Structure 1
Amino acid sequence: MSDMPRRLGKYEIVGVLGRGGMGTVYRGFDPAIERTVALKTIRNDHLDSGVEDAIARFRNEARAAGRLTHPAIVGVYEYGEDHDVSFIAMEYVEGFGLKEYLSQLGVMPLADSVSVVMQLLDGLAYAHEQGVVHRDVKPSNLIITSQGKVKITDFGVARLQSSELTQVGTV
């Protein structure tokens, strides 16, 4: 964890929430308004060829999710760049990914399953009404809170109705 930054933009870094192939998600804190956030990052200097495309897709994710204000969608607060790191500041959600939730629980009770699906469909319908298509709905991109609320996250391959940026390798 020695490579963990102390700050990204105005945000203080509190800890690591997860790591992926292109970046890290940090738990951060906005001291100006005393709010905990999640900071999704990509390190621009760690990207191979196509760095501009990767950064453009990352910005596209922020734009796509930033258009959306819905109880079932993780809110996006800001896109920023700090030295060689691009980041998206978003709502911090206490909970578990649906994939993790199911691996611990086994089979979800029918009433809970119906509730999850209805919340998911409500959030996706809203996104579609706003011109945003998620295109990567899967258990690891859904967070279940302790209150049983669903939060859709990771609009990284989302398509904006007016955008040509899509996932690498698509036509």
Structure 2
Amino acid sequence: MADDGSKQSTSDQNWPISKFYFTVDFGGAMKNTSFQEISGLDIESQPIEYRAGDSSVFSTIKMPGITKSGNVTFKKGVFVKDNQFFAWYEQIKMNTIKRVTVTIKLLDESGSPTMTWTLNNAWPTKITGTDLKSDGNEVAVETIEVAHEGLVIANA
């Protein structure tokens, strides 16, 4: 018999979180910006290989080394008179840039944050404009790539 949803067990109340409902706060650098896609929320520890000279085992051991974070890519639609990405990017001078804290929140169906990614000391490294096609019917999308100095992940 098919489940009509009238009975709920504890296992039925735990669903994976949908990834389409999220907000981004650029710490005041950009206001009222909605994004289509965010990628690159990764962090890794680079392995260090080591072998002591008097080790009886003829292979190396691996230890965790320096933590490395990749750049995060944000994609959004192009709007008339919206140059927030480029205005932030234009602030780059030799070894100087306004660094901000970027907070990305994955929301549940009620709009409450369920997971939060915080990018510390973020700044723009690359802007990519939309591609142009005379026979296209897609929305114009621009991309900004952001470097940062650490990713903090927290659950609600």
Shorter-chain TM-score range: under 0.3
Structure with the higher strand share, 1 or 2:
2
Higher relative contact order (CA 8 A, sep 6+): 2
TM-score by length of 1: 0.25
Larger radius of gyration between Structure 1 and Structure 2: 2
TM-score by length of 2: 0.27
Structure with the higher helix share, 1 or 2:
1
